[in-house]
C-alpha cells in the first residue's frame, strides 16, 4: 500500500497541472537574449528580388544566422524596411528549425519580426530542451530576454531523473 501512494501522488500532480499547461506556458529559450541589431547572414540555393515591393525570396536550403541564433527552412520571404535600410521581417515556411544555444525548435512556419524582436512559430511546434520536450500549436519567442510562451494544446514530457 505504501508503494501505491508513491504512484498516485505524481499522477495526481500531473493531472492537476494539465489545465495550466493547456492555457499556455512560459519557458526559457536559448542561453542568452538575442540582439536583433546584429547583422543577418542568409545563404540559399536561389534568390529572387522584387525591387518595387522591397521583397526578397530565398529558396532551397535557406540558412539564416544572427548572433548565436540559427534558422533553417526551405523558403524564406524577406521584407525590407523603407528605402531598404534593413530588414523589417522574415517569413520562413515549409518546415522550420530554430536553434539558439542548446535549445532547438521545429514548426511548419516561423515569422520573425526584427523590429519587434519576436519570432512566432506556428503549426506542430516542438521544442527540444535536452531531456525535456514541449509541443504546442504556437510558440512566441521574445528575443530581448530569451523567453518563450507556448500556447494551444501544450504538452510536455519532463524527465524526473529518478531511474530507481
What proportion of the chain, given as a percentage, has pLDDT over 70?
80
Residue 80 has pLDDT above 90, yes or no: no
At 11, the pLDDT band (50, 70, 90 cuts) reads very low
Residue 15 has pLDDT above 70, yes or no: no
Q: What is the mean pLDDT of the chain?
A: 81
Residue 164 is predicted with a pLDDT of 54
Instruction: Report the alpha-carbon distance of residue 119 to residue 98 in Å, rounded.
Output: 10
Does the reported pTM lie above 0.85?
Answer: no
Strand partners, 109: 93, 122
Residue 19 has pLDDT above 50, yes or no: no
What proportion of the chain, given as a percentage, has pLDDT over 90?
48
Residue pair 76/91 in contact by the 8 Å Cβ criterion: yes
Strand partners, 119: 112, 141
Q: Which comes out higher in pLDDT, residue 130 or 153?
A: 153
Residue 10 has pLDDT above 50, yes or no: no
Give one DSSP letter per residue of the chain, joined into a string. Answer: -HHHHHHHHHHHHHHHHHHHHHH-EEEE-SSS---TTS--EEE-SEEEEETTTTEEEEEEEEEEEETTEEEEEEEEEEEEPGGG-SEEEEEEEEEEEEEETTEEEEEEEEEEETTTTEEEEEEEEEEEETTEEEEEEEEEEETTTTEEEEESS-EEE-------
Q: Which comes out higher in pLDDT, residue 38 or 105?
A: 105
Residue 82 has pLDDT above 90, yes or no: no
At 36, the pLDDT band (50, 70, 90 cuts) reads confident
Place of cell 514530457: 157
- Across the range 13-37, mean pLDDT stands at 56
Q: Going from the N-terminus, what domains does the chain have, and what CATH number goes with each?
A: 24-157 (2.60.450.10)
- Across the range 126-134, mean pLDDT stands at 88
Amino acid at each position: 500500500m505504501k508503494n501505491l501512494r508513491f504512484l498516485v501522488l505524481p499522477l495526481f500532480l500531473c493531472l492537476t497541472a494539465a489545465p495550466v499547461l493547456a492555457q499556455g506556458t512560459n519557458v526559457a529559450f536559448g542561453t542568452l537574449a538575442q540582439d536583433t541589431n546584429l547583422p543577418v547572414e542568409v545563404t540559399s540555393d536561389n534568390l529572387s528580388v522584387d525591387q518595387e515591393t522591397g521583397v526578397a525570396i530565398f529558396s532551397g536550403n535557406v540558412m539564416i544566422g544572427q548572433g548565436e541564433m540559427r534558422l533553417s527552412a526551405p523558403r524564406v520571404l524577406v521584407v525590407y524596411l523603407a528605402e531598404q535600410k534593413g530588414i523589417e521581417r522574415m517569413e520562413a515556411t515549409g518546415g522550420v528549425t530554430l536553434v539558439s544555444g542548446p535549445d532547438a525548435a521545429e514548426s511548419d512556419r516561423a515569422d520573425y519580426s526584427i523590429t519587434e524582436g519576436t519570432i512566432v512559430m506556428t503549426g506542430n511546434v516542438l521544442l527540444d530542451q535536452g531531456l525535456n520536450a514541449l509541443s504546442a500549436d504556437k510558440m512566441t519567442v521574445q528575443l530581448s530576454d530569451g523567453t518563450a510562451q507556448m500556447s494551444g494544446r501544450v504538452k510536455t514530457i519532463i524527465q524526473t531523473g529518478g531511474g530507481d
